[in-house]
A and B are shown apart, each in its own frame.
Chain A
Amino acid sequence: MTWIVLLFLVLGVVFNIMGNLGVLVFPDVYTRLQASSTCGTTAVFSVFIASMLITGLSVMTAKILVITLFFLVSSPVAAHIVARYAWNKDMVVWRKFHD
């Protein structure tokens, strides 16, 4: 059990670091948003699963489950609002040119 918890915590840390690295590496608003928001969501979700496993079967687990469900609803909406604002402001999408 401890090893599964450790695995999920490590996954959370790795996704978080790589998401932040993606913000630095990628060229424009949309690609940076992809890296930060989506990798961040997976990271936080992994940490939530790890904490659910570590508390075992109790009332606390149900509360964390509810928080996780709310997070799954609210996080993509926040990302979508940022993307929608950028799209409505006519920001140009970066694309690779084949030479």
Chain B
Amino acid sequence: MDLHRKWKIVRVVLTTFYLMAGWVLFTAALDPLMLGLGLILSFFVSLLTFKLFIEKNEVDFHSLLPRIHYGVFYLLLVIYKMYVASFKMLWLIIRGRINPRVVHFRTRLKSDIARVALTSSITLTPGTVTLSLDDDHLIVHWLDAKTTHSRYAGELVKGVFERLLKRIWI
């Protein structure tokens, strides 16, 4: 059995596992009939979608199994930052004095999924929207820009997020 086929089987099994978890959460029924039906259905769906769900070149162990306990902490941090920035946003809308700028900076994160998570959390925080992500180069629209200096702006926008994401996906 060659390496490609093995990796394909692993991907199908992992996708089935994730789909099954979703099935159990949404049906909330634990009798064998429902579980069996869920297993069969998620296996067929995973046969169709495993190529999209786990990319062929995504063979890093840590990108498939992130460290969940840091992830929960990260989620709480993002929600806290979201609320703080929303109140700042309210003040900006009332006052009407904005200073929008486009800032460019680079990220040190290596894996694709960590970069996507960083992009999403920057967009989720009010006041900053990611315009483009090209390899490690991010272009961010900042509503109330303090600076346009690349390194300083990067520290203000992504500082804490990047340090935590590095621990989740190495």
A residues engaging B (CB < 8 A)? 14-15, 18, 21-22, 25-26, 30-31, 33-35, 37-39, 41-42, 45, 59, 62-63, 66, 72-73, 75-77, 79-80, 83-84, 86-88, 93-96
Contacts and interface: CB of A to CB of B under 8 A. Distances in A.
A96 B89 contact: no
A80 to B, nearest CB: 5
Nearest to A67: B26
B124 A84 contact: no
B129 A83 contact: yes
Contacts of B75: 72
Interface in B21-47: 22, 25-26, 28
B100 A42 contact: no
Contacts of B139: 87
A97 B102 CA distance: 15
B147 interface: no
Nearest to A49: B79
Nearest to A98: B99
Interface of B: 22, 25-26, 28, 75, 78-79, 82-83, 85-86, 89-90, 93-94, 96, 98-102, 119-121, 123-132, 139, 141, 143
Interface residue SS majority, chain A? helix
B25 A22 contact: no
A80 B139 CA distance: 11
Contacts of A35: 89, 93
Contacts of B82: 41-42, 45
Nearest to B101: A95
Contacts of A26: 93, 98
6 contacts: A26-B93, A35-B89, A38-B86, A38-B127, A83-B130, A87-B139
Given A18-B93, A34-B126, A62-B25, A77 B120 contact: yes
Nearest to B25: A66
